[in-house]
Chain A
């Protein structure tokens, strides 16, 4: 399968910005996604970006895509304690299959 990699942990203080990074290998990916998962819950779609875009902003969330380096990032501005969760990067291939990273656990300290 395809390889999607993320760092395991990120710790920030409340009010700071968080940046979660992801790398992927499939150059034919059509869409890339960020999902949030809270303990014991399913995955909540946060945002996504089409592969021909460089950036997408949605309120406190900014997604940056460097297609040449196959690098995706999610920036959360003014991080709140309610943002503490596991964040998954995912890519969708041309064959409509989705591949997920292992998740980055974001810890927001008050």
Chain B
């Protein structure tokens, strides 16, 4: 078991560009979560999947954000037309159905210039 992995670990982009992040959950974990963490704050829930179904989306997830999990394994989070306010750490976590705990990946740190 290799844990949750995320790619890339760091991304610097210019305002207006699109970016895509990938998360590979722990194998056989059917729930996958995306969070955003800004400096000095705890993670804020963005969205979560059970298998390939996106079950819930936060109001934080504007129409510039889209997440997919096409085969119920890895997931991608895309941000279109990035803004400076999108600069943050994007964290992915996974868990088994009804498991008590989530396991987090190392995060992707995004800087929008």
- Interface size, B (range): 20 to 34
A61 → chain B, closest Cβ, in Å? 15
Contact call A100/B42, Cβ cutoff below 8 A: yes
Interface string of A42-55 (1 = CB under 8 A from B): 11110010100000
A36→B54 CA distance, assembly (Å): 28
Nearest residue, chain A, Cβ from B101: A45
A50→B107 CA distance, assembly (Å): 27
Q: Choose one: B44, B101, B106; the contact of A42 (CB below 8 Å).
A: B106
Contact call A97/B100, Cβ cutoff below 8 A: no
- Residues of chain A within 8 A (CB-CB) of B56 are 95, 97
Interface residues of B (CB under 8 A from A): 4, 31, 33, 40-45, 48, 56, 91, 93, 100-107, 109
* Interface pairs A-B: 4 shortest CB-CB: A100-B42, A42-B104, A43-B104, A42-B106
